[in-house]
Structure formats: structure tokens, C-alpha cells
Amino acid sequence: MALALSAHQSTLTRPTRPNVGANGIAHAVRTGGTTAQTKADRIVTKAAWVVWSDAWKATYRGSGDHSTAFTVSGSAITYAGD
């Protein structure tokens, strides 16, 4: 399972805030594989996004820290700079 950013979003870096800008998941494509596999990978990555977003918000509310980037583990997406 590996998603790559689409050509028009290829410069996106790993998000550090859940509510700012695009995350690239909706247009990411699987390198090798079928359309169905790409869609399945997007679902897994979106689920990882939701978990990270909730954790980020809880951390921010608790300590004011907002420096944690979107997780690499389980997200299946490669950003520019990874």
C-alpha cells in the first residue's frame, strides 16, 4: 500500500495542522495497482488522518502544542520532503 500525491499537489508537505489547506488524500494515486486498491488505500489513509486530527486537537487544547505532523505510520501516503 503506497499512495503518491497527484501531479497538481506534488509539492504538498506533510501537514502539521488538521484544518489548514489540502492534505492530498482525495487525489492521491496508488503506484501500481487497481482503481479499487487506490480507493481502499485512500480510506485507510483518511482513517489515519481522523485519528491524527483528533489526537492533534486534544494535544493542542491540553498544552497549546501544534507541532506534530501527520503520522507516517499507517497513513500510506508520501509527501514532498519525506
Express as a percent the part of the chain with pLDDT over 90.
10
| Residue among 77, 81, 80 nearest 25 (CA) | 77
Query: What is the tally of structural domains in the chain?
Result: 1
Domain of residue 54: give its range: 3-78
User: Residue 74's pLDDT is what?
Assistant: 67
What are the angstrom distances between the C-alpha of 25 and each of 53, 59, 60?
14, 23, 23
Q: What is the pTM of this model?
A: 0.82
Mean pLDDT within 28-49: 89
Q: How far apart are CA 53 and CA 71, in angstroms?
A: 10
pLDDT tens digits along 2-22: 888 888 888 888 888 888 777
